[in-house]
Structures are given as structure tokens and as C-alpha cells.
Structure 1
């Protein structure tokens, strides 16, 4: 696949993932208000998504040629 097309696809995915991260953070905030402690599953998801966003940012900026997920295995913390 052409590198430019791949980078454009990740540009779209990056925007979508940021929206998902925003809603995850909002849900975590509400969870913490109600329960008084964080939800471990949401926290782990946020960490993994943040790592993926960092990998996408490196690829999009040209700092790395390593394709992030779904072309590579999902890297968990």
C-alpha cells in the first residue's frame, strides 16, 4: 500500500481514537466520582490506547516507518 494512503488512513484513525480516549476519560472521571477509586480496566485501556496513539504519531510525523496496529501486533503495557 502506498505510504501516503497509509498515513492518511492513520490520520483518520487517530482522530477517532482521540474521541474514544476522551469518552474513556470522561467515564473514568464519573466512575471515580461515584466509586471513589479508579476502574482498572478503563485505566489499562487508556494506557494501551495512549501507547498506540504515540506509535501512530511517530509514524505520521515520519519519525518511524514502523506501522502501528493493525499492521503490527497490539502492544500492551
Structure 2
């Protein structure tokens, strides 16, 4: 998250030149406080959860096909 704060600071300073007058530690501290209040995850965590979701979706689709086949066989 520290890298994120640094990149955000650079972007903010590029967009708002008046921030150049504010001491870097003050801006970084404010950004870090704001970032820590957010419910953020790393890209790795996101990718891991996306993979779990994809596997779960595959299993659900397979189970739905099994149920459909069972219903047709009893039908």
C-alpha cells in the first residue's frame, strides 16, 4: 500500500500543482490514513479470489448438469 500512496501522491501533484506547497510527509500521512480506511485488497488477493470463484462456477455448472440429467432420467 505504501507504493500505492506514493503513486497517488505523484499523480495528485501532477494534477494539482498547489499540493507542491504541502510538505510531503503531511500529504503521505493523509493519503495513508485514507487508504487504510478503505476496504482494499492486493492484486494477488483479488486474483486468488477470482480463481476460486471460477472453480466454484465450474463445479456449480457441472452439478447443474448432473441434476438436469437426473431429472430427465426420472422424467
TM norm structure 2: 0.40
More helix by share: 2
TM norm structure 1: 0.39
Structure number with larger C-alpha Rg? 2
